Amino acid sequence: MTAKVLFFLAMTVSYVGASDIISSFVFPKHLSCYVDKIEKVPTTVYLPLLFANNPGLAAPTLDGPCIALPGGGLFFYWQAGVITYLRESGYDLSNVNLAGASAGALAATLVGTGVDMNTATSLALKMSDDAGVWERPGGLQGVWGSIIEEWLDTLLPDNAADLASVASVSLLVTPIPSFRKSRISNFESKEDLINCNMASTHIPWFLDGKLTKDFRNSPHIDGSFLANPDNYFSVQDKVINLDFNIDPIMKEKSTDLVKLVSKEGIWSIFNRGRSYGKIMDSRGDFKTLRK
| Per-residue model confidence as pLDDT tens digits over 52-70 | 334 445 555 567 899 999 9
Go through the chain and tell me how many residues it has: 291
Residue 112 has pLDDT above 50, yes or no: yes
> For residue 73, what are the CA distances in angstroms to 203, 213, 239?
10, 17, 21
Q: What is the pLDDT confidence band of residue 283, given thresholds at 50, 70 and 90?
A: very high
What mean pLDDT is predicted for residues 117-135?
A: 90
Q: What does the pLDDT look like over 243-282, one tens digit per residue?
A: 999 999 999 887 765 566 788 989 999 999 999 999 999 9
Cα 158 → chain centroid:
22
Backbone phi and psi for residue 43, each to the nearest 5 degrees, phi listed first: -100, 0
Q: What per-residue confidence (pLDDT) applies to 172? A: 96
C-alpha–C-alpha distance, residues 108 and 86, integer Å: 14
Q: Is 289 helix (H, G, I), strand (E, B) or coil?
A: coil
pTM to 2 decimals?
0.80
